[in-house]
């Protein structure tokens, strides 16, 4: 199958470039070639999906790629209600300092008022002010928006507090502080069950979501039989963890719970491995969720446990997980991140099913259909929205088939990621928890 793009830059940094995905049946070999044209020609019959994010990096680029792949597949199958999908993208620089809110608001406004997008899939940016502005503008224009990055709890709380105004907002990736906090607590309790360890060290970067989680864990872990012997919020600029490991080891900690974002995860893991620190690592290292983390750390992440995604690890959580992973890998040459998967699922399964259920693209009808959504996606056996238009999260230990979105912990073992939380999924996968290959409290 051949794939042709009129302008390679159109798929990374797009300033109001229209991408119309069309399927052309190849006469030679019977394959299908996906052809993209950039230009202003558009059909009134298309459903226009606006993508808003920092399109040349990180979450913005992966959100665009996930949405684009979903559009290609939907169009190849005849569209939605017989209408093809058109992708329109605007770059909002929301991941690029100084996080100019004027650029971000101009981008989302242009998608709605000039590009005439019917629905929006957006990162929402790394800053709460950008996320709230995005939400306000979509509410003003009565435009449904799915977000892949916004982590603040208040974002969906607004739907509860003022439904009439904010009912257009839906979160499709479990990034918010409350879900992170509860997920971390469940993971630590499970780690304690596996190991028998009760002494906890918390080492978190100092930012809003991590601080919320730290506060929650400091309150709830003692209630669950754990002793917090070390707790520290440190600068997000930290790359040398030597002194922190020394203090953690001196505290007598048995389980080290990190919340470390970005590339610092590599330095953290290497320090832990090279000093053979006598603690098990179980927490949030965002970099550890990447498929190449084993290579990047030279295998020193062996026995490290962190949050992760089934599409990254290659665990067949649903019937959609591996097909999504393989299609994305073939299309873009990389494994889909959680934001790419969230954007893909938002269009491929969630929105498309809601439109079909509603029988129209009319906003109010689609909102009602979304509110009754219960579909299998790449990341959830049952994707359901809560009353606040957030993601229903939970697992049934007695029947994993009844799981909603699951907060996963994967452990790196011999170059692969295996699920170790929830325990029901670990058992389903036939996996076991692994200790570091040096002496520690597990040696007793």
| C-alpha to C-alpha distance for 90 and 67, rounded to whole angstroms | 13
Note whether residue 396 is domain-resident.
no
pLDDT confidence of residue 16: 31
Indicate left, alpha or beta for 58 from its phi (over 0: left) and psi (-120 to 50: alpha): left
Q: Give which of 399, 394, 389, 386 is closest to 427, Cα–Cα.
A: 399
Q: Mean pLDDT throughout 248-276?
A: 96
Note whether residue 313 is domain-resident.
no
Is the predicted pLDDT of residue 65 greater than 80, yes or no?
yes
- Residue 85 forms beta bridges with which residues? 47
Note whether residue 376 is domain-resident.
no
| C-alpha to C-alpha distance for 372 and 77, rounded to whole angstroms | 24
Q: Give which of 244, 221, 236, 379 is closest to 307, Cα–Cα.
A: 379
In this predicted structure, which of 86-100, 187-201, 392-406, 416-430 has the lowest mean pLDDT? 392-406
Are residues 332 and 416 both part of a single domain? no
Q: Band of the pLDDT at 9, cuts 50, 70, 90? A: very low
Mean pLDDT, all residues of the chain: 87
Q: Which residue, of 354, 371, 388, is where some domain finishes?
A: 371
Cα-based torsion angle of the residue sequence 8, 11, 12, 18 in order, rounded to the nearest 10 degrees: 110
What does 88-112 look like in DSSP terms, one character per residue? EEEE--TTSTT--HHHHHHHHHHHH
Do 202 and 282 form a contact (C-beta atoms < 8 A)? no
pLDDT confidence of residue 6: 24
Are residues 291 and 417 both part of a single domain? yes
Helix (H, G, I), strand (E, B) or coil at 52: strand
Tokens of 218: 């400091």
Is the predicted pLDDT of residue 23 greater than 70, yes or no?
no
Q: Band of the pLDDT at 232, cuts 50, 70, 90? A: very high
Note whether residue 98 is domain-resident.
yes
pLDDT confidence of residue 141: 97
Q: Band of the pLDDT at 26, cuts 50, 70, 90? A: very low
Are residues 149 and 55 both part of a single domain? yes
Whole-number percent of the chain with pLDDT over 70: 90
Task: Give the 3-state secondary structure percentages of the chain, helix then strand then coil, rounded to 5.
Answer: 40, 20, 35
Are residues 42 and 159 both part of a single domain? yes
Do 214 and 233 form a contact (C-beta atoms < 8 A)? yes
Are residues 251 and 364 both part of a single domain? no
Convert the pLDDT of each residue in 364-397 to its tens digit.
999 999 999 999 999 999 999 999 999 999 877 7
Cis status of the peptide bond prior to 58, with omega within 30 of 0: no
Give the Cα-Cα-Cα angle 362, 367, 373 (nearest 5 degrees).
125
Note whether residue 380 is domain-resident.
no
Q: Mean pLDDT throughout 155-166?
A: 95
Q: Mean pLDDT throughout 191-202?
A: 98
Range of the domain at 363: 3-171+318-371
Q: Mean pLDDT throughout 406-422?
A: 94
Note whether residue 386 is domain-resident.
no
Are residues 15 and 117 both part of a single domain? yes
- Residue 20 forms beta bridges with which residues? 37, 86
Q: Band of the pLDDT at 99, cuts 50, 70, 90? A: confident
Is the predicted pLDDT of residue 40 greater than 60, yes or no?
no
pLDDT confidence of residue 13: 30
Note whether residue 138 is domain-resident.
yes
Q: What separation in angstroms does the CA of 312 have from each of 309, 336, 426?
A: 5, 6, 16
Is the predicted pLDDT of residue 15 greater than 70, yes or no?
no
pLDDT confidence of residue 128: 83
Provide the domain count of the chain: 2
Are residues 285 and 423 both part of a single domain? yes
119 or 209, which is more confident: 119
Do 107 and 52 form a contact (C-beta atoms < 8 A)? yes
36 or 405, which is more confident: 405
| C-alpha to C-alpha distance for 321 and 341, rounded to whole angstroms | 9
Q: Band of the pLDDT at 254, cuts 50, 70, 90? A: very high
pLDDT confidence of residue 247: 98
In this predicted structure, which of 21-35, 90-104, 132-146 has the lowest mean pLDDT? 21-35
Are residues 153 and 290 both part of a single domain? no
Note whether residue 197 is domain-resident.
yes
Are residues 350 and 290 both part of a single domain? no
pLDDT confidence of residue 30: 30
Q: What separation in angstroms does the CA of 73 have from each of 80, 135, 320, 342?
A: 11, 28, 13, 16
According to DSSP, residue 246 is labeled: H
Is the predicted pLDDT of residue 216 greater than 80, yes or no?
yes
* Sheet architecture: strand order including 47-53: 3-5, 32-38, 15-25, 85-91, 47-53, 119-122, 145-147, 169-171
Are residues 18 and 158 both part of a single domain? yes
pLDDT confidence of residue 175: 78
Are residues 195 and 166 both part of a single domain? no
Are residues 77 and 199 both part of a single domain? no
Is the predicted pLDDT of residue 88 greater than 70, yes or no?
yes
200 or 10, which is more confident: 200
pLDDT confidence of residue 109: 95
Q: What is the pTM of this model?
A: 0.84
In this predicted structure, which of 1-5, 208-212, 292-296 has the lowest mean pLDDT? 1-5
Whole-number percent of the chain with pLDDT over 90: 73
Q: Give which of 363, 369, 408 is closest to 385, Cα–Cα.
A: 369
CATH code for the domain in which residue 282 is found: 3.40.50.2300
């Amino acid at each position: 199958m051949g794939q042709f793009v009129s302008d390679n830059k159109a798929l990374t940094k797009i300033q109001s470039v229209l991408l119309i995905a069309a399927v052309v049946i190849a006469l030679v070999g019977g394959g299908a070639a996906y052809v993209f044209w950039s230009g202003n020609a558009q059909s009134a019959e298309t459903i226009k999906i606006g993508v808003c994010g920092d399109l040349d990096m990180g979450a913005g680029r992966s959100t665009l790629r996930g949405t684009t792949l979903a559009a290609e597949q939907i169009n190849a199958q005849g569209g939605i209600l017989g209408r093809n999908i058109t992708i329109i993208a605007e770059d909002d620089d929301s991941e690029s300092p100084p996080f100019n809110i004027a650029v971000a608001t101009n981008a989302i406004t242009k998608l709605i008022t000039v590009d005439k997008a019917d629905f929006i899939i957006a990162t929402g940016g790394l800053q709460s002010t950008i996320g709230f502005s995005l939400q306000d503008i979509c509410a003003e224009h009565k435009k449904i928006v799915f977000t892949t990055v916004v982590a603040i709890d208040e974002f969906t709380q607004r739907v509860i507090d003022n439904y009439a105004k904010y009912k257009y907002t839906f979160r499709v990736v479990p990034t918010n502080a409350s879900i992170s906090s509860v997920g971390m607590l469940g993971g630590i309790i499970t780690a304690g069950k596996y190991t028998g360890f009760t002494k906890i060290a918390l080492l978190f970067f100092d930012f809003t979501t991590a601080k919320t989680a730290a506060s929650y864990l400091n309150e709830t872990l003692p209630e669950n039989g754990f002793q917090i012997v070390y707790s520290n919020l440190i600068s997000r600029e930290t790359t040398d963890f030597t002194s922190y490991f020394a203090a953690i080891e001196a505290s007598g900690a048995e389980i080290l719970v990190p919340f470390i974002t970005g590339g610092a995860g590599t330095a953290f893991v290497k320090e832990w491995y090279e000093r053979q620190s006598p603690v098990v690592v179980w927490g949030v290292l965002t970099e550890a969720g990447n498929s190449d983390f084993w290579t990047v750390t030279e295998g020193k992440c062996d026995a490290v446990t962190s949050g992760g995604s089934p599409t990254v690890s290659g665990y067949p959580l649903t019937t959609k997980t591996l097909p999504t992973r393989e299609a994305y890998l073939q299309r873009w040459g990389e494994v889909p991140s959680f934001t790419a998967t969230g954007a893909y699922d938002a269009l491929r399964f969630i929105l498309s099913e809601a439109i079909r259920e509603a029988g129209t693209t009319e906003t109010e009808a689609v909102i009602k259909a979304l509110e009754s959504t219960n579909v299998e996606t790449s990341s959830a056996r049952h994707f359901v929205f809560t009353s606040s238009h957030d993601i229903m999260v939970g697992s049934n230990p007695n029947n994993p088939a009844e799981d909603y979105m699951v907060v996963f912990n994967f452990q790196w073992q011999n170059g692969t990621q295996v699920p170790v939380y929830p325990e029901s999924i670990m058992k389903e996968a036939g996996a076991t928890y692994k200790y570091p290959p040096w002496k520690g409290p597990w040696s007793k």
